[in-house]
Structure 1
Amino acid sequence: MNQPQQVLVELMLMSAGYCVHPEFVTLRGGSLRPAAYPAGFACIRHPSQGWILFDTGYSHRFRELTASFPYSMYRRLTPVILREENVAVRQLARLGIAAEDVRFVILSHFHADHIGGARDFPFSRFLYPQAAYDAVRNLGPIRATRAGFVAGLLPDRFSEIAQPIESLAERVSLPDNVPFDSGYDLFGDGSLIAIAMPGHAAGQVGLLLSTSDARVLLCADASWSSRALRDNRPPHPAAGLVMHDRAAYRDSFRRLRSWQAADPELVIAPSHCREFFDIDSREVRRL
């Protein structure tokens, strides 16, 4: 495996809705008070591949598809607040980016807050980690609810318009100070490196990239917040109820902390962290 040369990209961080949990669930020792967790997504501009999304946040379809049992249990456990003007496709339109301009949508995993807006991008090619989709694609309604997966959020003919990352990209080695084994160079130019960070969900991936101002790791839900990483405060054991593999989560979290210590200039952005994502969708964060 080779270490890739790196092409710079542009990066914008936004959110499409948010959910509410007691803080202690996601931050050990946290408050019993409810806290808001933005459903973050990233909009990336590649110099030759064009516009790319990393996840999509929520859409109104989440409410529609979780109206009846058993999916209604999902909605009750994770109350969602979303204004229609804040769905990803409409936010992008306000920036002059049409749905047909988005060439790729990379899904970190298949929880509803990450795939909620996927159907709004029918012209895009979807990339996903094989293990993440394999874990949910054949689940019945009850087991799918337990896994945080709502199949109706995915585009029609998903298997025809989507491709596993592993079948598309070359596997590459990572620098010696990176405590993950390897990654996948999505476009063969070092611009976007998908790195497996399982535990929260089967096969979950983060995305390593560089802009002109920063090196950034979009770590998806391998941590719920930057504060948790800084202070070594992983989720309460109760959060394990919604995790695919608690031991794998602890391992990914530990590796992230080790990476942060070895490379303090690396910006690690968890998908639900309010230090990076605005819950009201009023701010576009550029890194």
Structure 2
Amino acid sequence: MRDLANALPELFLLQIGHCRAPEILSRRKGRLRPVDFPAGAALILHPRHGAILFDTGYGRAFFEATAGFPERLYRWMTPATLPEAARLPQQLARFGIDTPDLVILSHLHADHVAGYFDLTTAPTVLTSREAFEALDRGGRLATLKAGCPEPLRQRLKALRPSFIENCAPPDLIPEGFADFAGLRDIFGDGSVLAVPLPGHGIGQFGLFLPETSTGPQFLIADAAWSLRALRENAPPPNMSVMSLGNKGNYLKTFLNLRMLSCVRSDIRLLPSHCAETFSPTLC
């Protein structure tokens, strides 16, 4: 029998589809040729808190939301692929899971939230209040530009999420995280920390797991699009950063991640769209 008192969380990476776009959009030293960008998610099997899903990738709701104009422009600019076997319910079924105990949404862009609506039972959602309240601002074109097509925005607004801002700060700031302001301890036991990662979208945050069965893990969402970009100090070009967020905040977060990787080489950084990180087996 498994000793849950001493067991560590286990983390499994899922690729819920992918999109295709010029590599240069993701890092300044990239090429013009199109490449595949995984829509990454993570399943955390926590011995005390159950099955936790971080982001949900693509889903049928994305294709429904981008069927008409002007939303179809989103699908044309970054063509998305989601094989049936790669859909979120099918991937969770491999772990014997029908519905996670908690879904954590790092930010509310379509490629991070659409898979949620493929679940047959709606689990509890945790996200940032800043991101959720921003859904009420702007019209159809503004929300499309912000990465969330109008039909999908309406489905998100119907949710009743909990907010990371309501979680308490951790008792201790982990080594290397002094420059990341506003950390929150999701369960109050230090095992899963929400780390604000401003600059991309609104209200974006990542998850830091100080201890897992495979060492410390930091899910950094879209604060960098690849490990290579971090290694080469090559953030996205201004056009990419400014179209979806705040350039100054993005570059500060990007620098903080580079510094963290220097002082905490034991931490595995996990960008959501990194081909090095997410296996293309199903997608």
| Counterpart position of 2:264 | 263
Q: Which moved more, 1:69-78 or 1:256-265?
A: 69-78
The structure-2 alpha-carbon separation of the partners of 1:157 and 1:24, relative to structure 1 and needing over 3 Å to count, comes to closer
Listed as ranges, the gaps of 5+ residues in structure 2 are 1-5
The structure-2 alpha-carbon separation of the partners of 1:222 and 1:66, relative to structure 1 and needing over 3 Å to count, comes to same
Per-residue deviation at 1:45? 0.9
| Counterpart position of 1:252 | 253
Q: Does 1:71 find its partner at 2:74? A: no
The structure-2 alpha-carbon separation of the partners of 1:123 and 1:68, relative to structure 1 and needing over 3 Å to count, comes to closer
SS of residue paired to 2:101: strand
Q: Distance in 1 between matches of 2:82 and 2:159?
A: 30
Kindly provide the CA deviation profile for residues 235-264 of structure 1, in whole angstroms up to 9, marking residues without a partner as x. Answer: 122213432211111111011001111111
SS of residue paired to 2:169: strand
Q: Does 1:147 find its partner at 2:141? A: no
Q: Which moved more, 1:45-54 or 1:146-155?
A: 146-155
SS of residue paired to 1:8: coil
| Counterpart position of 2:84 | 84
After superposition, residues 142-181 of structure 1 pair within 5 angstroms as 142-150=141-149, 152-153=151-152, 161-167=160-166, 169-172=167-170, 173-178=172-177, 179-181=179-181
Q: Distance in 1 between matches of 2:116 and 2:218?
A: 22
Q: Distance in 2 between matches of 1:264 and 1:215?
A: 10
Q: Which moved more, 1:191-200 or 1:181-190?
A: 181-190
Q: Distance in 2 between matches of 1:20 and 1:255?
A: 28
| Counterpart position of 1:57 | 57
After superposition, residues 16-27 of structure 1 pair within 5 angstroms as 16-27=16-27
Q: Distance in 2 between matches of 1:53 and 1:124?
A: 10
| Counterpart position of 2:109 | 111
Check whether the contact 2:216–2:267 (CA below 8 A) recurs between aligned residues. Answer: yes
| Counterpart position of 2:280 | 279
The structure-2 alpha-carbon separation of the partners of 1:155 and 1:97, relative to structure 1 and needing over 3 Å to count, comes to farther
Q: Distance in 1 between matches of 2:245 and 2:60?
A: 26
Per-residue deviation at 1:160? 5.3
| Counterpart position of 2:227 | 226
Q: Which amino acid is 2:139 matched to?
A: G
Aligned length: 274
Check whether the contact 1:16–1:58 (CA below 8 A) recurs between aligned residues. Answer: yes
Q: Distance in 2 between matches of 1:278 and 1:271?
A: 12
Check whether the contact 1:8–1:191 (CA below 8 A) recurs between aligned residues. Answer: no
Q: Which amino acid is 2:202 matched to?
A: A
Q: Distance in 1 between matches of 2:40 and 2:261?
A: 21
Q: Distance in 1 between matches of 2:156 and 2:232?
A: 43
- Identity, % of aligned pairs? 39
Q: Which amino acid is 1:150 matched to?
A: P
Q: Which amino acid is 2:64 matched to?
A: E
Q: Distance in 2 between matches of 1:207 and 1:162?
A: 17
Q: Distance in 1 between matches of 2:133 and 2:280?
A: 31
TM-score relative to the length of structure 2: 0.91
SS of residue paired to 2:20: strand
Per-residue deviation at 1:161? 3.3
Q: Distance in 2 between matches of 1:280 and 1:13?
A: 12
Q: Which amino acid is 2:257 matched to?
A: L
Q: Distance in 2 between matches of 1:7 and 1:237?
A: 44
Kindly provide the CA deviation profile for residues 15-71 of structure 1, in whole angstroms up to 9, marking residues without a partner as x. Answer: 111011111111112111111100000001111221010000001221121011121
Q: Which moved more, 1:6-15 or 1:75-84?
A: 6-15
Q: Which moved more, 1:129-138 or 1:84-93?
A: 129-138
